[in-house]
Structure formats: structure tokens, C-alpha cells
Homo-oligomer: A and B are copies of this chain.
Amino acid sequence: MKYLVTGAHGFVGSYLIREILKREPGATIVAVDRHGAGTRLDLLDLDACTALLDSERPDYLIHLASLSSVAASWHDPVASFTNNTNIFLNVLEGVRRSSAKTRVLSVGSSEEYGIVTPDQLPLRETSPLRPASPYAVARVAQEQLGEVYMRGYGLDIVATRSFNHVGAGQTDQFVISALGKQFAELAKGTRDTLSVGTTSVVRDFLDVRDVVAAYCALLARGQRGEVYNVCSGRGVSIADVIAMFETISGVRATVAVDPSRVRPVENAFVVGSNEKITRELGWHPAYSLEESLRSVYEYWYGR
């Protein structure tokens, strides 16, 4: 089979390509990214997207390309919106114009659910979407465009709402990676205090290796037109993560709140239900959060 991966050189892309080749050693991978090796393409260029789909005609397209930082979306909402929604629209339009029989995996975000109260947890695929950041609005629009292309033009699309990822190689724009990096620096003595945002927020963290296993399962057996939470099902506060990093690193951290890490509007609780994907596809998380955090810490410590 031929797989086209957008954002192939990003954090998730490298894990996904390894997972595909593990499952299907003879697979053809078309790795698309703005920079680096492989096929260089700016997905904001609709004609280039169409030409690529027309020439490659992949069996599967996994759309990982994204400016996926919520915090960054508050700093530059226009860049966030265009580099999430508009690039996805161009990808869909490329598939439509090329009439390729491509199955598309539309990777969305738990941020689509927006602000919720604890009694509304865990978040299910049927929960209302109340996006509360520029990034979240972009992801909701992406998902809705997918549904319109599926119903109106007959495209084959499976969508996810993916919760927070954890893993070695993630940039320190994201909270767990930022904490892991700082703990490695604290352990080496190159840093004195742990700089944090709001530590009371609760998130659902999933190891990136479990994320890409879920994506492969969804491509193979997910239902056309359906959306699936990709999550651990477990809520953990940032304060809990800090305590776990303290155990892993053997360092007791002095915490300092950095106002630049605090967002204009913050979701206090984000915990998903993975009941749909586990029931339909038999996928289950294979890594514990402890294992995931250890891999992050070791990644940064070794740099």
C-alpha cells in the first residue's frame, strides 16, 4: 500500500512512519513536509497539493501537518488557523480534484471540546464542541470540512480527536516536554528553578507510540465518516506530572510560575473516554505514563 504522510518530519510523523513499516515492511511512504528530505511542499499551495495527489494517488493519507500549539495560537491566531484549517482544506480539495480513492485520516484535537466542568468528564465523541482558543476553532473547522467532503463529495475520511501526546523528540513548546527538559537541566545543575504555567490543569496524556498505533488501526478498520477520541482515558494534573518527574530524576524542584506560560483562556480539565476506539478496533494504550515520562526525561538528559 502507498501512504502519504503530511508533516512527516514532525514529532508524530517519525513515529508513524516507523509504525507503518513495522506493520507493513513493503509499504511505500510518501513523506511530505515543508522542509527536510522527501517531498517538499507548502500545503498552503492548493495547486501543488492537487498536483501531488494527482501524481501519487496514495491509498492512505495521514494528515499530521499542523501548528499544534494552543499557546502559539494565542500569539498568532492567523498563522495557527491557516496552518491547520486551510492546509487541511487544500489536502481535501487535492484529493477531490484528483479523484484519488484515498482514505484520509484527519487528525484533530481534544481542544475541540473546549471548556468543560468535571461533571462533563470523560469527554466522549458525542460531547458538544465549544472551542475556546484559535487553535481549537481551527480544528473544529477542519473536522467539519472533513464531514462536508465526506457527505458532499464522497471522500473516505476517518477523523480523530487526539489528546495530549507524550514522547521523546517532542519540542519543548509542549508542557511535558518542557518539564522533562527542565528536570534534565536541574539534574545536571544547569538550572535552579522549574518554570511552570498553571499546574492545576488536568490533561489526558498518551504515549506517542500508542498514538501512532491507534492511527494505523483507524486507517485499517475505522468507520468512514466517524470521529474517534485517541486518549488514555486517565486524567493527570501538571502537578502530578511534576511529582512523577521528581521521582524519575531524583530532583526536588523549586517551582516558579512564568506568566508567559499562562494562557488567556485555559481548559481546567481535559479527560477523554477511549471506549469507542477500544470497543470497535481493539486498540489499547500499551505504555504507562511513567514509562512515557521516563523516555522524555532520558531524551533530554542525553542531549
Chain A residues close to B by CB (< 8 Å): 46, 74, 77-78, 81-82, 85-86, 89-90, 93, 128, 131-134, 136-138, 140-141, 144-145, 148-149, 151-153, 264-265
Contact = CB atoms under 8 A, between A and B. Distances in A.
B132 A141 contact: no
B148 A144 contact: no
Contact of A46 (B78, B89, B140): B78
Contacts of A133: 148, 152
Interface of A is mostly: helix
B152 A74 contact: yes
A262 to B, nearest CB: 12
Which of the listed residues A77, A93, A132, A264 has the most CB atoms from chain B within 10 Å of its own CB?
A77
A132 B151 contact: yes
A85 B152 CA distance: 20
A60 B149 CA distance: 36
A134 B74 CA distance: 25
17 contacts: A77-B145, A77-B148, A78-B89, A78-B90, A78-B93, A81-B85, A132-B151, A132-B152, A133-B152, A134-B145, A134-B148, A137-B141, A137-B145, A137-B148, A140-B144, A141-B144, A151-B264
